[in-house]
Structure 1
Amino acid sequence: MSTDQELAGRLALVTGAGRGIGEAVVHALAGHGARVLATDLHTEGLAAAVAGRYDGRVTARELDVTDAEAVEELVAETEDTLGPLDIAVNVAGILRGSSVAELTDEDWAATFAVNTNGVFHVSRAASRRMAERGRGSIVTVASNAAGIPRTNMAAYASSKAAAVMFTKCLGLEVASRGVRCNTVSPGSTLTDMQRGMWAAGGPGNEEAGARSVLEGDAASYRTGIPLGRIADPSDVADAVAFLVSDRARHITMHDLYVDGGATLRA
């Protein structure tokens, strides 16, 4: 955890904060001195993640990012009670893997509802207010799957690609008003989502799944990871913390890959 205070005095909203990358982003931002409104659909894990830490600078709230009205109400309430938002980080996401032939309408719609519509709802509510004040930073955590085809991930990859382009378009619209919008695109990261993909292969498949990720899988047209390690959520969170800081003050509409070189930056 960082001990510097480069984000002191700033207020951040983080979605999907209950576990994995979202939880790591909360810790990274709070560790840099920010106050954080940590939101998630499942508040049990969220409360445990932030309980008793950071001298009360982290507040946990339930939020369904697919509910546009709920998002708008929470952002409005936050600004009334905690102050103006300086930072918004879209992390909430779901993965429903399937071949296109077997992909259901429900899974397709649910994936876009969270991964794309949720980004739209949160970014719209936050950017409106940030633009009026002439400052702010929005980061969307996407995926390297948004930039390279993947088997059995059509819905996920498509939803993330849409979120990336949306964030860039928003960044172009609000750049002249002092608001920066960037994306961070992780590769395989050691989260519950990643472990769930390995578990789908059957009991005891985690070791084989990790090896396949590191070495690549020709049968699924997947390269390995040149750096030879699977990312930790903190690797992604550190990239987010950089992009919302003044060190990145001249960076907007950028898509930062944090994947150990796995996509060969295709």
Structure 2
Amino acid sequence: MTAHPLFDIDGRTALVTGSSRGIGRAFAQGLLEAGCTVVMHGRDPDRVRAAADALEDDRVHHVAFDVTDAEAVAIGVEEAETLVGPLDVLVNNVGIQHRAPLLDFPDAAWQELLDTNLTSAFLVARAVARGMVARGRGKIVNIASVQSALARPGIAPYAATKGALKMLTQGMCADWAPAGLQINALAPGYIDTELTQALVEDAEFSRWLRARTPAARWGTAEDLIGALLFLSSPASDFVNGHTLYVDGGMLAVV
């Protein structure tokens, strides 16, 4: 038995931002294993180079640029397309978190969240979409969060950026779907990665999470790969402006 041809992305090109570690690295590896030529991205040139080298595949390339700087983004996207040709898939994965009570939330941290989680997705998608629109095809996957629909104490600004990213995804659909692009969001639930280790190791929080999630466990980066491949493939050609939650059922229950 072979995979259905609608899910075939062999030979396509993809740029995954924020892919030197964590979920982004898993996304890059998943696309590579599905047959894509992948450009990994990070802000630190040495770290992203090491991440790309670790995959030991000549279809893996890397670029380093600041996703919050419009000029740097334009140069970085041009470099990526010089390396692999026109981009078929963009995964906007860059994101950060700051936790603090809202009354005490620092102004600088608020701005950094907006710049990194929201503005970067706009800047990179705009730069990549120019070529996609001209070619009449392309897949953009913005990495949102279960916090696009749910809030918790201490992370209101993060939830605001992810909620805005969900709406930006719908806005991109409104503008670019007529040109043949599909723009969707993938929204992970609570995923066990190196960036969430403090919460994973917090016994009280992990008990709450397992009780709150119908799947009764933390998610893994591998749990997200199938959804990414679907949104990157012809199987999703009539799926547009959608947010696909991969959260173990958290949003389904109260």
Q: How does 1:64-79 map to 2 (within 5 A)?
A: 64-79=66-81
Aligned: 1:234 with 2:222: yes
Show the counterpart of 1:220: none
The residue type equivalent to 1:128 in the other structure is: R
Compare 38-47 and 248-257 and name the one that shifted more.
Answer: 38-47
Q: How does 1:1-266 map to 2 (within 5 A)?
A: 6-51=8-53, 53=55, 55-197=57-199, 205-215=201-211, 224-264=212-252
Q: Does structure 1 retain, via aligned residues, the 8 Å contact 2:73–2:124?
A: yes
Q: Does structure 2 retain, via aligned residues, the 8 Å contact 1:75–1:125?
A: yes
Q: Which runs of 5+ in 2 are unaligned?
A: none
TM-score using structure 2 length: 0.92
Query: Using the alignment, how far apart are the partners of 1:54 and 1:179 within structure 2?
Result: 31
Compare 20-29 and 67-76 and name the one that shifted more.
Answer: 67-76
Query: Using the alignment, how far apart are the partners of 2:194 and 2:121 within structure 1?
Result: 21
Q: Does structure 1 retain, via aligned residues, the 8 Å contact 2:20–2:41?
A: yes
- Percentage of matched positions with identical amino acids: 34
Q: Does structure 2 retain, via aligned residues, the 8 Å contact 1:25–1:238?
A: no
Query: Using the alignment, how far apart are the partners of 1:212 and 1:118 within structure 2?
Result: 32
Q: Which runs of 5+ in 1 are unaligned?
A: 199-204, 216-223
CA RMSD of aligned residues (A): 2.0
Matched positions, count: 251
Q: Does structure 2 retain, via aligned residues, the 8 Å contact 1:18–1:43?
A: no
TM-score using structure 1 length: 0.88
Query: Using the alignment, how far apart are the partners of 1:123 and 1:189 within structure 2?
Result: 25
Q: Deviations over 1:143-166 (max 9, x none)?
A: 011112221111110001111111
Query: Using the alignment, how far apart are the partners of 1:209 and 1:47 within structure 2?
Result: 35
Query: Using the alignment, how far apart are the partners of 2:42 and 2:146 within structure 1?
Result: 23
Shift of 1:45: 3.8
- Going from structure 1 to structure 2, the CA distance change for 1:52 and 1:111 (only over 3 Å counts) comes to closer
Helix, strand or coil for the counterpart of 1:263? Answer: helix
The residue type equivalent to 1:27 in the other structure is: Q
- Going from structure 1 to structure 2, the CA distance change for 1:78 and 1:61 (only over 3 Å counts) comes to closer
Query: Using the alignment, how far apart are the partners of 1:75 and 1:155 within structure 2?
Result: 28
